[in-house]
Amino acid sequence: MAVTVQQVLQILKEFAPPELACSWDNVGLLVDAGRPVSAVAVALDITADVVKEAADSGCDLIVSHHPVIFNPLKQIGADDVPALLLKNGISAICMHTNLDATAGGVNDTLAEILGMEDTESFAEGCGRIGTVKSTTAAELAELCARRLGAHPQYVEADHPVTRLAEVSGAGGSYLQEAIDLGADCLVTGEAAHHIALLAHQKGIGLVVAGHWATEHPVTRVLAEHLAAALPDEVRITLSLADTDPFAYL
């Protein structure tokens, strides 16, 4: 019996309930091509290259973290990604801040990579704070470079780091909340200049490891979850066209 997009959506809703998403977010089935699902591609971002790769490999559905439609569309062209999806008969399910917040999602995955224990949620449920073996911001930056393939920037703490906070993606604005909760360092994907200045002022560590790098590990988690939940007849693949949009020197 053919698997429907709605069946896949239900599996993902059970893993990352939409109720966990922030009020400003746009999650769920964002493009419905109206076809049964025989193959699924998993990606962090749905780009034109990801759509082409999915079409070439016979995928009927792309599951991503970042929403393919976020702001209201006032017009759409033939080369815009939602149009490319429909043109190729590919649906799109996007799990954003609900996947950030859910147990086993983006931030639990990042916390595990960072070696955090006894974690609790903060940052509107999307971040984690917990304990680590005594370390430094420089050592955490090296860990992110090694384990995430990141190119980190960091501000060193003026004391050992034993209580660590992390917020994947654009989480720099949560530094003060992390400080208030007793964190010695925050690991995140993006942080503004004034956040780095605040870290210096407070003597708190800050590691900025890149939006893509801090979130991309969840794609493997999603792929494994879908493979376990769906019949063997449904092929699950990780997109190879889904790459960091930045180039680095």
For the segment 75-123, what is each residue's pLDDT rounded down to a tens digit?
999 999 999 999 999 999 999 999 999 999 999 999 999 999 999 999 9
- Residue tagged 């790098």 (tokens): 213
CA gap 188, 170 in Å, rounded: 7
This prediction's pTM: 0.96
The pLDDT assigned to 72 comes to 87
CA gap 200, 179 in Å, rounded: 12
User: Which residues neighbour 200 within 8 Å (Cβ) at sequence distance 6 or greater?
Assistant: 155
Mean pLDDT of 138-163: 98
The rounded mean pLDDT for the chain is 97
Question: Looking at this protein, which amino acid is placed at residue 241?
Answer: A
CA gap 209, 188 in Å, rounded: 6
Cβ–Cβ under 8 Å, residues 182 and 122: no
pLDDT greater than 90 at residue 69: yes
CA gap 43, 210 in Å, rounded: 17
Percent of residues, the chain, with pLDDT higher than 70: 100
**Domains of the chain from N-terminus onward:** 5-99 (3.40.1390.30), 103-214 (3.40.1390.30)
Cβ–Cβ under 8 Å, residues 209 and 141: yes
CA gap 131, 164 in Å, rounded: 6
pLDDT greater than 80 at residue 6: yes
Burial letters 114-146, b for 16+ CB under 10 A, else e: bebeebeebbebbbbbbebeebbbbbbbbbbbe
| pLDDT tens digits, 120-129 | 999 999 999 9
HSE-up of residue 70 (Cα within 13 Å, Cβ side):
13
CA gap 168, 125 in Å, rounded: 12
